[in-house]
Amino acid sequence: MRLIVGLGNPGNEYEWSRHNLGFMLIDKLSSAAGIELTQRICQSSVGRGEIEGCAVKLVKPQTFMNLSGEAVACLLAKQRMTPTEGQAFPGEKLIVISDDLALPLGKIRIRAHGSAGGHNGLKSIIERLGTNEFIRLRIGIQPEHPISDTRRFVLDSFSRSARGEVEEILERSAEAVRTILRDGVLKAMTEFNSNE
């Protein structure tokens, strides 16, 4: 079982916000695979199904971004995947999707492990799990111009005129997740991190 967690904030007011790209990608994956997120487990909306021949749980934590780690730790405990002393954490079983203000809009960056990179959702997960050894797929939201209020920028919605581009970004990101599941994280990194 793979746990695929998209980070975001619950509520209609955040639906199209830049910070909710993780939620948007989970919605795209669930729609394409016919997986409904109807279960309410560990303060999360969860759907179980299959993508690329892999059993998956698609997850949208409902804790708000800064507390995402609470939901993820609870779900991993239920799957008996919580990091324990003396045992390697099965990090390849957890894929976390987030936005990234340090990457240009639409650029995808896949890593098998790493820091939070200033992202509060990733920071919360790393703190609660006590490890950064899990796969993350980050989607760039950096604008071409300087911004004075970072918090406001990430919580603002994409403009209606940008939503076609957002859909294209999400489709490419969904293919990146499918590649991770089908061919492994190293192959996905080679294919989708190519413009570094």
The catalytic residue positions are 19
- Interacting residues of 120 by C-beta distance below 8 A, sequence separation 6+: 65, 66
Q: Which residue has the tokens 């989607």?
A: 139
The amino acid that residue 12 corresponds to is N
Burial 129-165 (b: 16+ CB within 10 A, else e): beebbbbbbbbbbbeeeeeeeeeebbbeebeeeeeee
Contact 1, 79 (CB under 8 A): yes
> What is the distance between the alpha carbons of residues 132 and 126, in angstroms, rounded to a whole number?
5
Per the DSSP assignment, residues forming a β-bridge with 95 are 4, 135
Burial (CB < 10 A; 0-12, 13-18, 19+), residue 92, is middle
